[in-house]
Amino acid sequence: MKKTIYTFFFCLYSLTLIVASNGIKEGIIKVIPFKNNSQIGFENLQLNAKSNIEIVWNDNYAIPSFLTGNLTSPGFVHEQTMQRDIFSYLSANKELFGIVNPDKELELLSSYKDELGQTHAKFQQKINNVKIFKGQLIVHFQEDGKIIGVNGKYYPTLKFNDIPNITENEAMNLAKNFLQNYSLSNVQTELLLIERNLSFYLCYAVKVPSKFYPNMKVYVNAENGEIIYKDDGIRFDGPITGSGIDLKGQMRAVPLYILGHAYLINTTLPMYIPPVDSLKGIITVYDAKNDTSGNGYQSAELIYDPNGDGIFNDNENQKAAISAYLFVQDAYNFFKTNFNRNSYDDAGHSMINVVHYKQSYNNAFWNGASMTYGDGDNEQFSNLAGAYDVIVHELTHAVTERTANLIYENQPGALNESMSDCFASVADSSSWLIGEEVYTPSIANDALRNMLNPHNNAASQTTGWQPEHMNEFVMLQNTEEEDHGGVHVNSGIPNRAFALTAESLSRKKAGKIWYRALTTYLTNNSSFSDARNACINSAKDLYGDNSNEMNVVKNAFETVGITGTGNIQTIDLVYDDGNPTTYVYEESGNYELAVKFSIPSPNVTLTKCQIYISGEVKQGGNGGFSLVLIAQEMTGILTNI
Amino acid sequence: MKKLKYFLFSFIILFAFQSCAGSKNSQKATQHLKYNIVYGSGGGFTGVRTGKFIDSLGVVSKWEGITFSKAKRVKIDSLSQLQIKKINDYLIKNPLDIYTLNESGNSTVFLTLTNSKNETKFSWKENESSSKLPAKIKEFYQLLLDISKNN
């Protein structure tokens, strides 16, 4: 009975082993290592040795990974018969090293004699001419022919089925598909046995050389065609020159940085401070991936070349990145060459760009940390990363922030906007149009703004129109709804002053005068009048008192109605904080509407004040009525007393 | 038989009582928003801003563009009672007027709450970090976006 029970459990155990051995994961091949008796082998070695032997074991296979000592007598290895003598030694110690036929399993890779007279012979392990990728062993012997060491990562003789399921051609095609648009030439394949985490894979190493990655290899599982891994062969980090297609469809040379992948990181400019991972003084681009969740930056990722060929032609999304990347490089050089400004902070701050912000986003902006560009909806705008003037405009916001820091409201805000347009028009001097390359792609020759003719062929106070003289100054409130007092509207007036100056002198000269004004004279609350005085004084500094340049600037400002004193001031009318306010609201079941405001400064008079409110009456759910405010308008002229 | 009569009678009385109670519930007063709400974002290279205004009745109006006068709001939707309740509940539970956030910049996000007593205004840069943005304001803004995302 007892015997029967034992037999039953033995059968059950055997069955479990059989099931387990058949349950090998797909793609991993079954390998049977030679069962060496390392203990006996080591005892034999010690017996023959003339001194102590030190050994470090490879516990996975019970073979030595590092063996040192007087392993043989002198004269064992001769230079002329080195391989045969070493194989003879390994064969004699088969129980210890586990290598059954060294002459068939080892191939000499190299040997060299060092300054101590020791020779080091390195061997590659293989079975049936299939290279065991990670199997290498080095035998060390002295000048007198005594073997004094054996070390390496190798395996006891392995038995496995070396007939692959897929052909070399299939492996090449799989590698090609994996690398996508990679141009294949001089492709080579080699069948290998690879060990990863104690599992063995029969695979093809497909070598796919390219200009930037001469040693690119893709390892394809020869059993099931899966890609095991890719090795780009790059053993250094550093800058290279790659290429990429921009939004105009042109192939452009681009500076790249290899850091595992090939990234759009420009380290070639004077502002760069190594090491690259400190991210100092670089230009780089992130892809926001059109993510609309949260703040739009949730998925932003540094852009790199997915197939590693150094050519950014892999997908449409790369085009905006290439355009932004190169335009920002040009913008850096523009400020450096013309104004000796080293990045926007003049201290080599890195320039971070984000493309593909949100979806069909018709805008670009400086957010205090990065320049961000939308793709546009292709009706109002095409991709905003595709226009040099847009990029210089945004970069100038960063320059303004680090210099005069003009407050983004009312006249200082309009000056802030104007400065961005002015420097954009110096950098991109093809016309006086702003944003013409990306604005309404289906309509030719139009633009978002026109600096020389701010009316821009648009009806008064409609999109595209800007005032060109102070007598057209648009009084708007400092609210989001009214563009913070019309910062994108009234910028037309100083824009025209700049354009008139540049037409008379040159854009370069006008740029120098405005740059000096921005960086030397303007303060955060400067008005149009202050800008006039700043520009006149800059011209005087640069070209002399009563110089032609100074008079041109003075005339330009006078032409647009900006005088030295007594300009119209934009001052917020402050709504009374008490009850009621200007809004319709519910109070104890009643609806009330009132307008009440005060002028913030006693030194100001308000004339020609008009308040316009219209709305429609709606019946509320509880039987009451409410007036739904659909428009309110207030105009007036405030004059300093 | 007598027992069955009593049972039916009791059932009718109970049903009638419940119907009356249900009717009373359905006459509950319409809920209004505690605040008029204005929210949106924009600026940047174009100056275009997009905003929405929700009045106390839950009527949603929208404006978009570069404005040369008080923005022309176009009615686009009305909030449901459930949505109004959701907004009111959030603001009662999380009073936002304890926060101050008035960032200006090239492109900003804005939120204004107005009632009979106060006007509470927030604006912040369209920034990747927005570390100054209190979590409750961010959460409430997201609630508004979620409620009006189909408009």
Residue B84 in domain: yes
Look at B106 and A397 and tell me if their CB atoms are within 8 Å. Answer: yes
Q: Are residues A194 and A120 in the same domain?
A: no
Q: Are residues A265 and A393 in the same domain?
A: yes
CA separation for the pair A247, A318 (Å, rounded)? 9
**Residue A76: which CATH number?**
3.30.310
Does residue A442 surpass a pLDDT of 60? yes
The boundaries of the domain holding residue B58 are: 36-147
Q: Are residues A598 and A560 in the same domain?
A: no
How far off is chain B from A326, nearest CA to CA, in Å? 19
How far off is chain B from A454, nearest CA to CA, in Å? 15
Look at B108 and A480 and tell me if their CB atoms are within 8 Å. Answer: yes
Q: For A317-349, how does the pLDDT look when each residue is reduced to its tens digit (9 = 90+)?
A: 999 999 999 999 999 999 999 999 999 999 999
Residue B46 contacts A, CB cutoff 8 Å: yes
User: Which residue from A369, A463, A633 is facing B70, i.e. has the nearest CB?
Assistant: A633
Give the three-state DSSP class for A419.
helix
Predicted ipTM of the assembly = 0.74
Residue B10 in domain: no
Q: Are residues A265 and A359 in the same domain?
A: yes
Does residue A623 surpass a pLDDT of 80? no
Q: Are residues A509 and A535 in the same domain?
A: yes
How far off is chain A from B69, nearest CA to CA, in Å? 6
Q: Are residues A396 and A410 in the same domain?
A: no
Residue B6 contacts A, CB cutoff 8 Å: no
**Residue A299: which CATH number?**
3.10.170.10
Residue A245 pLDDT grade (very low, low, confident, very high; cuts 50, 70, 90): very high
Does residue A7 surpass a pLDDT of 60? no
Question: What value does the mean pLDDT of chain A take?
Answer: 84
Residue A562 in domain: yes
User: Which residue from B30, B70, B130 is facing A622, i.e. has the nearest CB?
Assistant: B30
Lowest mean pLDDT segment, chosen from A22-36, A65-79, A358-372, A431-445:
A22-36
Look at A585 and B56 and tell me if their CB atoms are within 8 Å. Answer: yes
Residue B108 in domain: yes
- Domain tally, chain A: 5
Please tell me the pTM assigned to this model: 0.65
CA separation for the pair A29, A614 (Å, rounded)? 81
Question: Encoding tokens for residue A84?
Answer: 């045969």
Does residue A631 surpass a pLDDT of 70? no
Which residues in chain A touch residue B68, judged by CB atoms under 8 angstroms apart? 461-462, 474, 476, 486, 489
Look at A583 and B119 and tell me if their CB atoms are within 8 Å. Answer: yes
Residue B19 in domain: no
Q: Are residues A388 and A354 in the same domain?
A: yes
Residues with Cβ < 8 Å from A86, sequence gap 6 or more?
A77, A102, A121, A123, A139, A141, A147
Q: Which residue of B has its CA nearest to A288?
A: B128
Give the three-state DSSP class for A384.
helix
Whether omega before A275 lies within 30 degrees of 0, making that bond cis, reads yes
CA separation for the pair B151, B145 (Å, rounded)? 10
Q: Are residues A378 and A480 in the same domain?
A: no
Residue tagged 């203990």 (tokens): A39
List the beta bridge partners of residue A439. Answer: A381
Set A105, A394, A472, A549: catalytic member: A394
Residue B94 contacts A, CB cutoff 8 Å: no
Residue A479 in domain: yes
Query: Is A394 a known active-site residue?
Result: yes
Residue B28 in domain: no
Which of A231, A253, A274 is where one domain is finished? A231
> Which residues in A35-50 are b (16+ Cβ under 10 Å) and which e?
ebebeebbeebeeeee
Residue A538 and residue A516 in contact, taking contact as beta carbons nearer than 8 Å: yes
Q: Pick from A289, A295, A407 the residue to mutate for testing the B interface (most B CBs within 10 Å).
A: A295
Residues with Cβ < 8 Å from A614, sequence gap 6 or more?
A630, A631, A632
Which residues in chain A touch residue B44, judged by CB atoms under 8 angstroms apart? 363-365
Residue A613 in domain: yes
Look at A622 and B127 and tell me if their CB atoms are within 8 Å. Answer: no
How far off is chain A from B14, nearest CA to CA, in Å? 30
Look at A476 and B69 and tell me if their CB atoms are within 8 Å. Answer: yes
CA separation for the pair A409, B38 (Å, rounded)? 19
Lowest mean pLDDT segment, chosen from A57-66, B61-70, B87-96, B140-149:
B61-70
The boundaries of the domain holding residue A118 are: 32-158
**Residue B50: which CATH number?**
3.30.1560.10
Residue A314 pLDDT grade (very low, low, confident, very high; cuts 50, 70, 90): confident
Q: For B56-76, how does the pLDDT look when each residue is reduced to its tens digit (9 = 90+)?
A: 889 998 888 876 665 577 888
Which residues in chain A touch residue B46, judged by CB atoms under 8 angstroms apart? 362-364, 381, 435, 448, 488
CA separation for the pair A17, A23 (Å, rounded)? 10
- Domain tally, chain B: 1
Which residues in chain B touch residue A591, judged by CB atoms under 8 angstroms apart? 56
**Residue A174: which CATH number?**
3.10.450
Q: Are residues A430 and A334 in the same domain?
A: no
List the beta bridge partners of residue A240. Answer: A256
Residue A8 in domain: no
Instruction: List Cα–Cα distances, B147 to A150, A243, A354, B11, B144, in angstroms.
Output: 72, 45, 28, 43, 5
Look at A585 and B115 and tell me if their CB atoms are within 8 Å. Answer: yes
Residue A263 in domain: yes
Set A469, A488, A503, A558: catalytic member: A488
Q: Are residues A433 and A499 in the same domain?
A: yes
Residues with Cβ < 8 Å from A462, sequence gap 6 or more?
B68
Q: Which pLDDT does position A75 carry in this prediction?
A: 95
Which of A180, A209, A231 is where one domain is finished? A231
Q: For A109-124, how does the pLDDT look when each residue is reduced to its tens digit (9 = 90+)?
A: 988 888 889 999 999 9
Which residues in chain A touch residue B47, judged by CB atoms under 8 angstroms apart? 417, 483, 487-489
Look at B49 and A483 and tell me if their CB atoms are within 8 Å. Answer: yes
Q: Are residues A244 and A357 in the same domain?
A: yes
The angle formed by the CA atoms of residues A113, A114 and A118, to the nearest 5 degrees, is: 70
Residue A100 and residue A157 in contact, taking contact as beta carbons nearer than 8 Å: yes
Question: What value does the mean pLDDT of chain B take?
Answer: 79
Q: Are residues A220 and A320 in the same domain?
A: no
Residue B27 in domain: no
